[in-house]
Structure 1
Amino acid sequence: MFKSMGVPNEQIARWTGLLGLAWVFKALWSPFLELARSKKRLVVAFQLLGAAALAALALGLQLPAWFALAIAALAVVSLASSTHDIAADGLYIISLSARQQAMYAGWQGAFFNTGKFLSLGGLVILAGYLEGRIGVAPAWTVVFALMAAAMAGLGLYHGWALPGTLTVPPADASLRGVARTLVEVVKDFFAKDGIWMYIVFIVAFRLAEGQIQTIGPLFLRDARALGGLGLSTGEVGIVYGTAGTVAFLVGSIGGGYFTAWLGLRRALPFLILAMNLPNLVFCYLSAAQPASLTLIAAALSIEMFGYGFGFVGIILFIMQVVARGRFQTAHYALGTGFMQLGLVLSKMVSGDIQAALGYRSFFLWVLVCALPGLVLTRFLRFDDK
């Protein structure tokens, strides 16, 4: 949307990166969510809040200060979605065994990330179709209104469908008691054996991915004279929303079963290598600049498969290695907060790096950024009990 409405790459990367800060700091309010016995109610409430914020975004695009209003509405979406993530993962953890968590992590990751590719696929095709008929801003107003309606529908559906697994709230449910719990949660987290190595690995795991996921779609849209592929809004939706989405789902689900079969310790290096496939794909696309939409779609299908297959690794690493202990839900939130920190940092600087290097050199740089995560796997400790 921002690209279609003329926002420069640097601003797109910087502001969308900043919006991710809610996911970095979400663990600071995660202990307060432990007061709610029903994680299901929290999940539904924040889905409905997200729907309201998306509706506000749709309306804001029609006003003169549309960019500031869009960022404000998306900030509410970010806060709602990050808090929802804590509650949803908490419900996932307390409702499933360790083996079930591994088996269904691929499905969880698939649905988590399918939102990205739905927005880059079908909704972008619709936006591209509408842009030429009713204008850019009205087209995206329609798209975000549809997203708001879908989110509200999902919230109502989950109010009926989700399991009502209950948890026992803390003995001291006062605000002061929860604050003490937060301090205890943070101390317990940083007292874990090898935690600093885990944090460095988590941040490094997403450094390359964050840059690729931010600049990749902008590269597809930019003119060939500027080093891009010159695709239209609708064409980007086609290549991501067809074979790319299928490849991602297959990779994500396959990664979960692959890890359940091989075990996380042995599977992790393969999962990291799979996460490098998108880097290689964009290196090829930036060097060859193919004109065939079929060839571009095939290349992006390889990217999507590798991303889906490899993303399972970081989710299970945080869930089964980092989050173990007395405060599983809160520690999982802390772990995913550091995971998001790696993504935010890489997103925020990606636009400036790309502007300085150009697309071809930028994608080579991103390939190098993926190496530290692979090297660090040799220094990680796993408790196999």
Structure 2
Amino acid sequence: MTTKTTVSAHPMRWVPTLYLAEGLPFYAVALVAGLMYKSLGVPNDQIARWTGLIGLAWVFKSLWSPFLEAASSKKLIVVSFQLIGGVCLGLVALSLQLPTYFALSIALLGVVGIASATHDIAADGLYIASLSNKQQAAYAGWQGAFFNAAKFISLGGLVILAGHLEKQMDAQHAWMIIFGILGVMLTALGIYHSWALPGTKNTNTEASMHSVFTTLLDVIVDFFKKPGIWLAITFIILFRAGEGQIQTIGPLFLRDARELGGLGLSTDQVGVVYGTAGTVAFLGGSILGGYFASWLGLRRALPWLIVAMNVPNLVFFFLSSTLPENMSVIATALSFEMFGYGFGFVGLILFIMQVVAVGKYQTAHYALGTGVMQLGFVFFKMISGDIQVALGYKQFFVWVLISAIPVLILTRFVKIKDQATPEEDLAQADDGQVEANKII
């Protein structure tokens, strides 16, 4: 297949905004929607189950990604799915005024999820096709920065705004405004990118379409023939056991009334501690975790990374036991947890890179590995609400700590080669950090 750039455009004109557009719908589905449903009185188990189900779009996106290679223009795909996502986010806003708002909004968010996952594939493909290797490295930092800027805007700024609006009007109208803003932002980015993105043209669509299915089948078969692959898949899924549950129930715990075992924070307070302080702590932990793994080597670092990712979840047991009212105490505790989350998560990215993805189809197998990684998150997210409702918050947070033990045991059985050189592992850690910024 041959792809060529047909229009020259300076990367700074489109790379930051492209990854901002990649992050906005992701965080709208993964994080903001859960807080909205909590404000609207939806039970925790329903929130976790249905928002988790939508996450399957990112699990299976690698299965249809090869077919997008046959499209005549990556730019057309990117712009189209940005506009589809923007329109559907606007329709979510309108649906909140209807009696059947929950079912309708979940269906629309499902469309947003599929559009966003498909957009991710095309956006990354456009980035690779439009930039030289040197440019790809130079602008990789802008990818992660603006993907996380979407987190600041949505989980930080817009959730804080939602909290202020909830004090002035009913929750439905408050969140109608928030999702209306998200829809307008993504639609505006789509319109801007119809002008700003470089044009790429696939000059071999017939040949690529003819061979894509057989190639995809070979990629999948080769993936599952890897020695120890089922142990690696089990390890990847269990790696996210504690994280998938705590990242789902944690924000709902902060919002729930104190008489129900929660902290009773307002929506804007949750936006402050999670969307600003927590995000900064996560990014700091991620950077240091990458250097730690590079220094020690993945095989020796991995147990420590797992411990660093899960032991800080103790702060939720502390918060559920003491129910502090001091916001400084709460913000400090959650920042500690998010720092550990970021520090440890890089271990999973490097495990997929260095253990799962090696071989004939390195890029494709890395994509399949990250799909398995997302599957682990989605599975534990979907069941977390039922477990929390059955156990209550305090016992649930104990369960989360226990559920992290199996993956720590498995580190004794997975085979990981020692690092080749510190320079090579440092480069992989940096690449993994970019990918982590785009997945979480």
Find the partner of 1:343 among 371, 374, 377. 377
Aligned to 1:50: 85
CA distance in 2, matches of 1:213, 1:132: 26
User: Would you say the 8 A contact 1:277–1:307 is kept in 2?
Assistant: no
Alpha-carbon distance between aligned partners in 1 of 2:46 and 2:241, rounded to the nearest angstrom:
19
> 2:18 maps to what in 1?
none
- Amino acid in structure 2 at the alignment position of 1:355: V
User: Unaligned stretches of 5+ in structure 2?
Assistant: 1-35, 421-440
1:160 Cα deviation from its structure 2 partner? 7.1
Report the counterpart of residue 63 of structure 2 in structure 1. Answer: 28
**Map 1:69-88 → 2, pairs under 5 A:** 69-88=104-123
Distance 2:75 2:178 in 1: 28
Q: Distance in 2 between matches of 1:212 and 1:105?
A: 29
CA distance in 2, matches of 1:147, 1:212: 26
In structure 2, what is the Cα distance between the partners aligned to 1:26 and 1:216?
A: 27
Q: Which residue of 2 aligns with 1:68?
A: 103
5 Å-filtered alignment, 1:94-243, equals 112=147, 115-116=150-151, 118-155=153-190, 172-174=207-209, 177-243=211-277
Q: Which moved more, 1:360-369 or 1:342-351?
A: 342-351
- Residue type matched to 2:288 in 1? G
Cα deviation, 1:46-68, whole Å, max 9, x if unaligned, reads: 33332222122122222232112
Change (3 A) 1:166 1:301: farther
Contact 1:104-1:256 at 8 Å conserved across structures: no
Distance 1:12 1:329, change over 3 A: same
Secondary structure, in 3 states, of the residue corresponding to 1:375? Answer: helix
Deviation at 1:243, TM superposition (A): 2.0
How big is the alpha-carbon RMSD for the aligned residues of Structure 1 and Structure 2?
A: 3.1
Query: Partner of 1:306 in structure 2?
Result: 340
Superposed counterparts of 1:293-332, under 5 Å = 293-332=327-366
How far the C-alpha of 1:249 sits from its partner, in A, is 2.2
1: distance between equivalents of 2:65 and 2:319? 42
Q: Mark the CA change 1:219 to 1:112 in structure 2 (over 3 Å): closer, same or farther.
A: same
The answer for the alignment partner of 1:250 in structure 2 is: 284
Identical-residue share of aligned pairs (%): 66
In structure 1, which of residues 267, 282, 286 is the aligned counterpart of residue 320 of structure 2? Answer: 286
Q: How far is the alpha carbon of 1:167 from its aligned partner?
A: 8.7
**Mean Cα deviation higher: 141-150 or 271-280:** 271-280
Equivalent position of 2:301 in the other structure: 267
The gaps in structure 1 that reach 5 residues or longer are none
3-state secondary structure, aligned to 1:134: coil
**Hey, what does 1:355 align to over in structure 2?**
389
The answer to which of 284-293 and 236-245 deviates more is 236-245
SS of the aligned residue for 1:380 comes to coil
Asked whether the 8 Å contact 1:86–1:333 carries over to 2, the reply is: no
**Cα 1:322–1:46, aligned 2, differ >3 Å: closer, same or farther?**
farther
Q: What is aligned with 2:400? A: 366
Q: Deviations over 1:19-76 (max 9, x none)?
A: 1122222222122123358656544443333222212212222223211221011101
Contact 2:311/2:401 (<8 A) preserved? no
Instruction: Report if aligned partners of 1:252, 1:305 keep a CA contact under 8 Å in 2.
Output: yes
- Bigger shift: residues 292-301 or 316-325: 316-325
Q: What is the one-letter code of the residue matched to 1:21?
A: L
Write the distance in 2 (CA, Å) between the matches of 1:258 and 1:168. Answer: 44
TM norm structure 2: 0.77
Task: Say which is worse superposed, 23-32 or 115-124, in terms of deviation.
Answer: 115-124
Quote how far apart the aligned CAs of 1:301 are.
Answer: 0.8
Q: How far apart, CA to CA, are the structure 2 residues paired with 1:77 and 1:132? A: 28
**Equivalent-residue separation in structure 2 for 1:269 and 1:160 (angstroms):** 48
Query: Which one is further off, 25-34 or 198-207?
Result: 25-34
TM-score by length of 1: 0.87
3-state SS of the aligned residue for 1:379? coil
User: Structure 1 residues 169, 17: CA separation in 2 closer, same or farther (over 3 Å shift)?
Assistant: farther
**Hey, what's the Cα distance between the residues in 2 that align with 1:381 and 1:109?**
30
The residue type paired with residue 87 of structure 2 is: A
